[in-house]
Structure 1
Amino acid sequence: MYLHHVASYLPEAVVTNAHFTRLNGLANEWIIERTGIQERRKAGPGENANTMAIAATRAAFEAAPAFASESVDLIVVGTYTPHDTIFTAAHAVQRDLGVNEIPTVSISSACSSLLNAVEIVEGYFAMGKARRAVVVVTEHNTAYNNEEDTMAGHLWGDGAAALLISKDRLSDDDLRIAEVITGGAAPVSKADESVTLKPVERGIVMPFGRDVFQQACIYMAKVTQQLLNKHHIPTEELTYLIPHQANLRISNNVVKQLGLDPARAVNNIQRLGNTGCAGAAIGLAEVWDTLKAGDKVIITVFGGGYSYGAMLLNKG
């Protein structure tokens, strides 16, 4: 199957580290040293996971006239920060597109939702139940975040991205989705309590950040190497590695393990904070126009509950 286009949406409001210095006394240098984050985006009044999903989807279709909205026969949206758990972001996107009576699925596998959503599309395509799909990943982290939490309150940002995927190639510029690998490591270590979001309690909590760091470094590097080995791709031939945007030190660690040139890693956490399952897709949108024939891209992700995965994209 083929990725025809990807586009993102980011709220206008920018929250710098100075906000957390005033609020919690956390120094700008301290935040940067431990996370890489300098600023993040925050959804404005009236914005939420649904509105951002719609905005990203509209941007994708505006940039890809060959992918007519009326041809869409599957919508899959991932988020762990829903605006509404009944009329989900997937339903909101369907209503905005005006495409009726098609499968519309909302999922959450924490920050790995992007790749699980693509796998769902892969399954529908394989069964002959769809040929053109929209995948959207959207996070409204600041709706749930407790900014006064000095352990994790400064990490989160908001944003969304939309991918247009077809079973058949529509353009020479399409990226072929060569393979998606996903897995779950919930039995490992503190997967059940390291990152939680319990809306009726305290919002997003990360009491065991060190454990998250260690497991993310292990699994993101492992699954990426698995894809490289399986497709006989030397590390130096990888054009971009787009890791989940949780912590710049995690990205740097994974790059080091793989022996990859750091310049090949796509990072936006410095400007956007942790945008959850949307972060890697936003990163792909940021480098989309630089891709050329022969390029190879791997997206690798890791999420709370210790879900993980990697996806190989080939240009041309």
Structure 2
Amino acid sequence: MYSSKITGLGYYVPDNVVTNDDLTQWMETSDEWIQERTGIKERRWIDPKTEDTTSVMGAKAAKIAIERAGLTKDDIDFIIFATLSPDLYFPGGGVQVQDLLDMPTIGALDVRNQCSGFIYAMSVADQFIKTGMYKNILVIGSENHSGGLERSTRGRGVTVIFGDGAGAAVLSRSEEEGKGILSSHLHSEGKHAKELVLEGPATGRWVPEIIDANDPDDVSYFPHMNGQFVFKHAVVRFSEAIVEGLQANGLQKEDIDMLIPHQANLRIAQFIQKKFQLADDKVYNNIMKYGNTTAASVIIALTEAWEKGKINDGDLVVLAAFGSGFTWGSVVIRW
């Protein structure tokens, strides 16, 4: 059986920076209020005047990752695209990237697992490579949240958190023992689906129904989050996923060289860091700059950490995420 190894990384975020102070033009809030609750100072939102969309950002990040892998677009065998905010209800973003990059008629798979989307996508890619089906897989996480957020005081509990951006990784076949993805671990608990949800438009609440209702108090088409409930579950599930990954490989928390947690809330990441007694240089956070970019957050953070020289050959890297569904998981990598 082959192993799979990350050979290229890239990310892209829009140029448009939206600070906490900028948000005060739409809602009653403050920089202090937002930082105290989330740790976020600013985020990137797509400027509608630009060409950027979920798929376009994903393609831009992918170009960088493919080049850094020393490959061309024609060397990629398969695309896995993780997002909760595709350009279109259907088809998904994977086929759009295939077109934008002018790639051969390779397969394209979309993963809809929200905040844990990139973790799930990496796990799927890893299995395809380990079984010998594909040699080089492009894995993308990309999100355009700003187009669907309620920019008002009513919606501030969600709106202040989310940002736009994309990241990509090339996963390649390797025969080097003990290197690459060591294991991945995936979980879900659907009974909490309504605690972090976007109810409409959907097949159960389709667009004409929303438009015909013309109800200004209908918030079903904006994201809803029970923040305290999500936080309490996140800190538990994050820990479980990390421990599960370590135990599966006979490792201890002291073996972790770099933890890349999903950038949901800085307080969650700090809680996990303290619980595992990890030094500041062993956890990478960038939510302060980008907010929560959902399926893009882990890969953007991983790419930045690698670019800054914080991840080196032989390091044990753990990726972990928790989000809507609820879904959560981890990936353990020997760099």
TM over 0.5: yes
The residue type paired with residue 159 of structure 1 is G
Hey, what's the Cα distance between the residues in 1 that align with 2:102 and 2:69?
17
Q: Is the 8 A contact 2:7 2:169 kept in 1?
A: yes
Name the residue aligned to 2:26.
Answer: 23
Name the residue aligned to 2:91.
Answer: 87
Hey, what's the Cα distance between the residues in 1 that align with 2:319 and 2:131?
25
Asked if residue 241 in structure 1 is aligned to residue 246 in structure 2, the reply is: no
Q: Return the match for 2:45 from 36, 42, 46.
A: 42
1:202-229 residue CA offsets vs partner (Å, 9 max, x unmatched): 32221x1111001110001111012122
- The Cα of 1:169 is off from its aligned counterpart by 5.6
Using a 3 Å threshold, how does the CA distance of structure 1 residues 298 and 73 change in structure 2: closer, same or farther? same
**Over aligned residues, Cα RMSD in angstroms?**
1.9
Name the residue aligned to 1:263.
Answer: 281
Hey, what's the Cα distance between the residues in 2 that align with 1:63 and 1:130?
19
Name the residue aligned to 1:204.
Answer: 223
Using a 3 Å threshold, how does the CA distance of structure 1 residues 232 and 185 change in structure 2: closer, same or farther? same
Hey, what's the Cα distance between the residues in 1 that align with 2:179 and 2:150?
39
Q: Is the 8 A contact 1:76 1:121 kept in 2?
A: yes
Q: Is the 8 A contact 1:3 1:175 kept in 2?
A: no
Name the residue aligned to 2:67.
Answer: 62
Q: Is the 8 A contact 2:9 2:66 kept in 1?
A: no
Matches within 5 A, 1:169-180: 176-180=180-184
Using a 3 Å threshold, how does the CA distance of structure 1 residues 230 and 120 change in structure 2: closer, same or farther? closer
- The Cα of 1:19 is off from its aligned counterpart by 1.8
- The Cα of 1:126 is off from its aligned counterpart by 3.9
Hey, what's the Cα distance between the residues in 2 that align with 1:306 and 1:160?
22
Q: Is the 8 A contact 2:8 2:67 kept in 1?
A: no
1:1-23 residue CA offsets vs partner (Å, 9 max, x unmatched): 11101110010000000022332
Hey, what's the Cα distance between the residues in 2 that align with 1:292 and 1:56?
21
Asked if residue 129 in structure 1 is aligned to residue 150 in structure 2, the reply is: no
% identical aligned pairs: 27
Using a 3 Å threshold, how does the CA distance of structure 1 residues 241 and 267 change in structure 2: closer, same or farther? same
Structure with higher Rg: it is: 2
- The Cα of 1:175 is off from its aligned counterpart by 6.2
Hey, what's the Cα distance between the residues in 2 that align with 1:102 and 1:294?
32
Name the residue aligned to 1:312.
Answer: 332
SS in 1 for 2:223: strand
SS in 2 for 1:203: coil
What are the ranges of 5 or more consecutive residues in structure 1 without an aligned counterpart?
none
Report how many residues are paired.
308
Hey, what's the Cα distance between the residues in 2 that align with 1:222 and 1:197?
26
Name the residue aligned to 2:209.
Answer: none
Q: Is the 8 A contact 2:146 2:163 kept in 1?
A: yes
What are the ranges of 5 or more consecutive residues in structure 2 without an aligned counterpart?
202-219
- The Cα of 1:43 is off from its aligned counterpart by 1.1
Hey, what's the Cα distance between the residues in 2 that align with 1:179 and 1:126?
11
Compute the TM-score of the two structures, normalised by the length of structure 1.
Answer: 0.92
Name the residue aligned to 2:113.
Answer: 109
- The Cα of 1:199 is off from its aligned counterpart by 4.3
